[in-house]
């Protein structure tokens, strides 16, 4: 497993799946759409040629590597993009949906509308 951080995202690559990948689409996408921080090392994607601070500085967070891996590769790459307030938003949406369902069924949830 290869994991590295850019400014605001975390990239995770299941390198066990990369050996069977002929396309190496993530590396090609990084060279084409970004600054080429991903390179092949022993047939696997790597950032070992850079220091962690260089990865942060050079990474553009373009997400092309994830898309290309999913479409042309083995789906071994995922990017975590933290969104501040997303968990609270989802909880509020779930509560509103539950309230609407109860109201639609004529069931009181104990709160005045």
Query: Of all helices (H) and strands (E), which one includes residue 95?
Result: helix 86-104
Residue 21 has which token pair?
Answer: 């990948």
Q: Spell out the per-residue pLDDT of the chain, length 113, in tens.
A: 999 999 999 999 999 999 999 999 999 999 999 999 999 999 999 999 999 999 999 999 999 999 999 999 999 999 999 999 999 999 999 999 998 888 887 655 555 55
Distance separating alpha carbons of residues 14 and 44, to the nearest angstrom: 10
Domain boundaries, the chain: 2-80, 84-113
pLDDT on residue 80: 96
């Amino acid at each position: 497993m290869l994991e590295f951080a850019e400014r605001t995202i975390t990239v995770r690559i299941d390198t066990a799946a990369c050996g069977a990948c002929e396309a190496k689409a993530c590396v090609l996408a990084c060279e084409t759409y970004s600054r080429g921080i991903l390179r092949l090392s022993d047939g696997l994607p790597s950032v070992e040629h850079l220091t962690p601070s260089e990865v942060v500085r050079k990474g553009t967070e373009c997400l092309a590597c994830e898309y290309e891996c999913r479409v042309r590769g083995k789906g071994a790459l995922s990017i975590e993009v933290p969104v501040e307030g997303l968990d609270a938003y989802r909880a509020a949406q779930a509560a509103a949906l539950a309230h609407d369902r109860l109201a639609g069924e004529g069931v009181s949830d104990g709160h005045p509308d």
